[in-house]
Amino acid sequence: MLDSSEATSRAEIARREGLTRARVTQIMNLLRLPPEVLAKLEGGEVSAQAMGERKAREMVRRRAQGLAGADLG
């Protein structure tokens, strides 16, 4: 939505979708996980609970810094 200019901010997306701005940010951060991690989550190889939010946040941070490929262990 932001990339295509359908919305100008995360706050606007939150209002449209009936979510908090914090939840929109969380969802958008999940989309920034490395593709191999997303595939494992989608395929059920790793559960979000098993990975933990702290690990997921670290992976997003590392990817943003260009250090993608962090292991799940």
Asked if residue 63 lies in contact with residue 33, where contact means CB atoms within 8 angstroms, the answer is yes
Cβ atoms within 10 Å, residue 24: 22
Going residue by residue through the chain (73 aa), what tens digit of pLDDT does each one get? Answer: 555 567 888 899 999 999 999 989 888 888 888 888 888 877 877 776 666 777 777 777 777 777 544 454 4
pTM of the model: 0.52
Question: What are the boundaries of each domain within the chain?
Answer: 1-31, 33-73
Q: What is the dihedral of CA 55, 61, 65, 70, to 10 degrees?
A: 10
C-alpha distances in Å from residue 58, one per residue of 50, 63, 70, 72: 15, 9, 9, 11
